[in-house]
Amino acid sequence: MAVPDEEELIAKKDVLKLTGISYGQLYRWKRKGLIPEAWFVRRSTFTGQETFFPKEKILSRIELIRSLKEEQSLDDLVRVLAPETKPEGVKHDRPTALAPVGSEGHRLLWKDGGYTFAELVALACGAQVLRAGNRLAEAKLVLDLVRAAEALLRDPTGVSVILAEKSIDGEGVSVRFSFALLGREPLRLDREARIKGQLDLERLVEQVKAALREG
Amino acid sequence: MAAQSISISGSGRVAGGEYAQVKISGSGRVEGDVVAQEIRVSGSGRFGGSVQAKEITVSGSGKFTGRVEADVLVTSGSCGIDGDAEVKELRTSGAQRVGGSFRGHYVRASGVLHVERDLEADVFTSSGRFEIGGLLNADRVEVKLVGDSRAREIGGETIDVRPGAGFSLGLSLTRGLRFGIGIGTLTVDEIEGDEVHLEATTAQVVRGGRVYIGPGCRIGRVEYRESLEVHPEAEVGERVKA
């Protein structure tokens, strides 16, 4: 996973030395989902492969874990951080309570509960389409498309969803239909297609994560 | 609503859904996602969607195309999972393959275990062959070597690798390796743990608190924090006290 160059990195062994934690603790916290997978940056050094972390993030996270550990609220912290670190474990029962889905999303629900992270993002996409004043059928089109693209949500950088419309006129008949398109930018449509809306999946993923953290 | 049970003993195909028990003793195919209390495959079973169950037993051949979630998975036959697996307790004495990553609490493997990506558990014990494409991460990793096992990385608190049973026949380990007779080996890029005991292991780097490098090991570089002991029948390139 890409880490911006300007972010200062620290080697794993230096993290241990600096904080005094053990390998066992670090690996346990990773398993519990307290340290995001994306923070483990593997780099080749003269001694072979080594793991580095974004320095500021890892040090403040360890401090956070330690401060909470004493209050035995580590499991609460796991829950709070879960959407960020292990989105595949999310099961949510009240999607409309999340701001990105909202009350508009109510019309899109298809089951009572147990919505996965990908399904929540799909709902948020559909709700956004509704909020922009499009038809319910169009929102469902987008929803189904995003639901089917679960694998892309792991790395949604530069992924967009486009809702577009096309009309065909001829022999006294005029047909207008909507379609949706999902992919990594740059996405191109032909000139006869009219774009009705465009969603930035990366931003929606972040919004859903943020909403899950708060709620 | 009480869920129903299905049993396929000839050849059959059923839709996904919610079941109390799914039993396949002939050749069966389940299309779509399944939620069940219990799944037993003693013939040949294929599951086309994701599977969620309390207990899954595969003594024949089981093939899961999607994600598998279970409290207990017992495999004595051949079980292939194409997606990720989240299984609290895995006991396998057969051939178990996971195409994605595995997450659980307890793993006991004595057959052949193959995980394409990471394996995470509290306790991992193996007395068979295993191949982990990514990181094997467990509080306790206990390996009795039989055959040649591999992992890209191993990390945890206690890591203990020793030759499996049947080796203590008075043969020296290095001599055994030299003649290549029935001795298991482990090959890893990187091992990190607080308490590390290794035998018959080849690794590029070992980092640890208290480290023992036993007979038959070939280690490129050892970085240790508290102590390091190296057996005379081990090769270690560099030793660094961190």
Residue with tokens 């319910």: A136
- ipTM value of the model? 0.86
Confidence of residue A44 (pLDDT cuts 50, 70, 90): confident
Which residues make beta-bridge pairs with B43? none
At B162-214, the pLDDT tens digits run 998 654 444 445 544 544 445 789 999 999 999 999 999 999 999 999 999 99
Query: Would strands B201-213 and B185-198 be described as parallel, antiparallel, or unpaired?
Result: parallel
Give A68's contacts (C-beta < 8 A, 6+ positions apart): A74, A76, A77
Q: What is the mean pLDDT of chain A?
A: 85
Q: Which residues of B touch A30 (CB under 8 A)?
A: 120, 137
CB A180 within 8 A of CB A164: yes
Q: Give yes or no for residue A155 having a pLDDT over 90.
A: no
Query: For residue B152, which amino acid is it?
Result: R
Q: Give yes or no for residue A6 having a pLDDT over 90.
A: no
What is the model's pLDDT at position B2? 60
At A174-200, the pLDDT tens digits run 888 999 999 988 888 898 899 999 999
CB B211 within 8 A of CB B227: yes
Of A17, A31, A49, the CB nearest to B189: A49
- The residue among A23, A46, A51, A153 with the most chain B CBs within 10 A of its CB, best to mutate, is A23
Widest pairwise Cα distance in chain B:
67
What is the model's pLDDT at position A84? 64
* A49 with B84: Cβ contact below 8 A: no
Q: Any chain B CB within 8 A of the CB of A22?
A: yes
Phi, psi of A6 (to 5 degrees): -75, -15
Phi, psi of A104 (to 5 degrees): -60, -35
Q: Kindly state the tokens that stand for B209.
A: 């608190």
Chain A nearest-CA distance from B23, in A, is 26
Q: What is the mean pLDDT of chain B?
A: 90
Q: Which residue has the higher pLDDT, A80 or A132?
A: A132
CA distance A36 to A59: 13
CA distance A55 to B105: 30
At B32-88, the pLDDT tens digits run 899 999 999 998 999 999 999 999 999 989 999 999 999 999 999 899 999 999 999
Confidence of residue A72 (pLDDT cuts 50, 70, 90): low
Q: Where are the domains of chain B?
A: 1-117, 132-242
Of B194, B204, B207, the CB nearest to A24: B194
Q: Which domains does chain A have, with CATH numbers?
A: 9-85 (1.10.1660), 95-214 (no CATH)
Q: Which residue of A has its CA nearest to B239?
A: A47
Chain B nearest-CA distance from A140, in A, is 21
Calculate mean pLDDT across residues A62-88. 71
